[in-house]
Every structure is written in structure tokens, then in C-alpha cells.
Amino acid sequence: ANIFSSQGEYAKALEMSKAAYELRKDLGEPRLVISSLMELGLIQQQAGETEAALQSFLKADSAAVHLNDPTTK
């Protein structure tokens, strides 16, 4: 996704990033999900999709807080 993003091909970058996010979510790997959400947010930001980027960043933040919360384990 990063290669497409660096070439300005944001639609393809978003497609790849969303696919990676879904795969990682299905695997149930919280750290990988957080990483995917951050990558997705960065690409959305570069593509000018600021509201979508904000939502991705907020989801990543929420997942990180949940991951580090000892009461959720």
C-alpha cells in the first residue's frame, strides 16, 4: 500500500490497506490491527480524506488503550 501511496495512487493504496486491515482483524492480532488502522489513516490523510483518517486514528487509539488496559484481559 505504501508504494501505491508514494506514487499518488491513493485508490489502490486504500484498497490494499483496507484488505490488510480486514485480514489482520480476522486473524485476531490486536497489534497488527492497530498498525493497519494507523497505516490506513495515513493513506486517507494523504488522499485528502481527513474525516475518514480521523476515524481510523481514533479506532487505533481506542484499540491501543483497550490492549493496554489490564481490566480487559
Question: Which whole number is the average pLDDT over 40-45?
Answer: 95
Question: Which whole number is the average pLDDT over 43-64?
Answer: 96
Alpha-carbon distance of 27 to 22, in angstroms, equals 9
Question: Which whole number is the average pLDDT over 47-69?
Answer: 93
Question: Which whole number is the average pLDDT over 26-36?
Answer: 94
- Give tens-digit pLDDT for 1-29: 778 888 888 989 999 999 999 999 999 99
CA angle 21, 45, 15 (to 5 degrees): 35
Radius of gyration of the chain (CA): 13
Predicted TM-score of the model (pTM): 0.85
Per-residue burial over 45-61, b if 16 or more Cβ lie within 10 Å, else e, is eebebeebbeebbebbe
Say which residues have a Cβ less than 8 Å from residue 27's Cβ, sequence separation at least 6: none
pLDDT at 72: 63
